[in-house]
Copies of this chain bind each other. A is one copy, B any other.
Amino acid sequence: MAERFEIVEKALLAMLEDKKYATLRDILVTMNPSDVAGLFGGLEEKQIPLMFRLLPKEQAAETFVEMEPEAQELLIQGFSDNELKEVLDELYVDDAADLVEEMPANVVKRILKHADPEMRSSINQILRYPENSAGSIMTTEYVSLRPHMTVGEAILRIRRQGIDKETIYTCYVTEKDRTLTGIVTVKDLLLAEDDEAPIEDIMLTNLIYVTTQTDQEEVARMFSKYNFLALPVVDGENRMVGIVTFDDAMDVMEEEATEDIEIMGGMMPSEKPYIRSSPIDLFKNRIPWLLLLMVSATFTGLIITSFEDALAAQVALTAFIPMLMDTGGNSGSQSSVTVIRALSLDELKFRDLGMVLWKEIRTSLLCGVVLAVCCFVKIWLVDFLLLGNPAITLRVDLVVCMTLAITVVIAKMVGCTLPLVAKRLGFDPAVMASPFITTIVDALSLLVYFMFAKLFLHL
């Protein structure tokens, strides 16, 4: 399907080049706004307004929302006041607020000037909430009903008000002072047997809601737990102020997973998608961790320096340093990555530390023993017999393999503990992934290595 889509894309762009506007328009109107927005990515700057003006009003607005910020800015700069107003009128409030956040100051000024007063005040309200809070991702447009309305009246109200609402399928029952008292779905309304029944008889009252301050990650987790279409957002006095819809929760889930993955990869979380990040952006996200980890490797260097004599006496030992360090790093990051993901999905808490340690000790013993045995055989077969390295003695082999087993156990202990401790202390556990663990485990594994070497090789 994706391949077929690329062919269609090329054909459409060719039509634009050839000025076959009528045909192009006839095809565009049948397309989904997300796909139309995708087309704009392949256009030259001057073609963007040209194609945009081919779209009918409503589709134009829906397409606009899905476009990249660069193209949106370009369009707004070129819009007449009237065109801008038309697009803004079609936007949902949360999309308008996102737009305002992305645009430079002069564009924002123009947007706010042409938004109708109600939308302007809603945008300002949403923008006041802390970044990554439920308040900042909610929309203020929802269907509200009163407890004493009948089912029939409620359906009528939805039919009259629904057109401007992002979702009509979940309706919120509020008192006069906007206190949230119940939830009723369109399914409940349509399937209700008695049109005269009051809403309060059929509404759900075991309310699950978030406050404007709830972290968006928590919001996304609630969606994946409860499978809701929308979640009500209330203020400190339990008054209804907006809703978060499932599509925004999906975006948050995706963003949060990306952020975790970036942090685990030893980077600062990015602001933009990779394609739109400049080398300077990438540099800024990556250099802090690289510098920090480079400097902290000084300790590992010190350990090696202080055992310099031992290494000089038995140079063969050096050859196994990378294998020991890498295996330690890999073992540690396996545990830390697993624990970090379980924390992100809310499957683990700090109080589970004992259970986690016990599980990881047994796992690491299994891994450590199997690895040590395989390593012992491998060194004997490959390094000694096959490659005929005379420096490899049975004792050297033993020292390497014992170090390996112990390193794996230590690495897994460190790897599973640090993310839980970080979480407990209020840091992001994802920081405790591979790069960080590797640095610690490197130092520990070398210490064990040289200790064993001194003990068993009498260096």
- Residues of A whose CB lies within 8 Å of any CB of B are 1, 30-32, 34, 155, 158-159, 162-163, 168-169, 186-187, 190-191, 205-206, 208, 214, 223-227, 229, 246-247, 249-251, 253-254, 257-258, 260-262, 264-267, 270, 273-275, 277, 279-280, 282-283, 286-287, 289-291, 293-295, 297-298, 300-302, 304-305, 308, 311-312, 315-316, 318-323, 325-327, 329-331, 333-334, 336-342, 345, 347-348, 352, 355, 359-360, 362-363, 366-367, 370-371, 374-375, 378, 382-383, 387, 389, 404, 408, 433-435, 438-439, 442, 446
Contact partner of A325 among B279, B291, B315, B322, CB < 8 A? B322
Chain B contacts for A249, CB-based, 8 A: 250
Once the chains are docked, how many angstroms separate the CA of A331 from the CA of B404? 25
**In the assembled complex, which residues on chain B have CB atoms less than 8 Å from the CB atom of A439?**
326
Q: Is the Cβ of A325 less than 8 Å from the Cβ of B325?
A: yes
B31 near A206 with CB under 8 A, answer yes
Question: Are B275 and A342 interface neighbours, CB within 8 A?
Answer: yes
Pairwise interchain contact B261-A435, C-beta atoms closer than 8 A: no
Closest to A281 in B: B363
Contacts of A446 in B (CB 8 A): 322
The 3 closest A-B pairs by CB, nearest first: A265-B337, A297-B323, A279-B362
Rounded to whole angstroms, the CA-CA distance of A251 and B162 in the bound complex is 29
A378 vs B296: C-alpha distance when bound (angstroms): 11
| Minimal Cβ-Cβ distance residue in B for A37 | B225
A34 CB contact (under 8 Å) in B225, B247, B250, B277: B225
> Please, how many angstroms separate the alpha-carbon atoms of A316 and B306 in the complex?
10
A-B contacts, 24 listed (Cβ < 8 Å): A34-B225, A155-B190, A169-B169, A229-B229, A254-B257, A254-B345, A257-B257, A258-B345, A261-B264, A261-B340, A262-B338, A266-B334, A275-B347, A277-B359, A283-B370, A287-B366, A289-B330, A300-B322, A312-B312, A318-B321, A322-B446, A326-B439, A329-B438, A330-B435
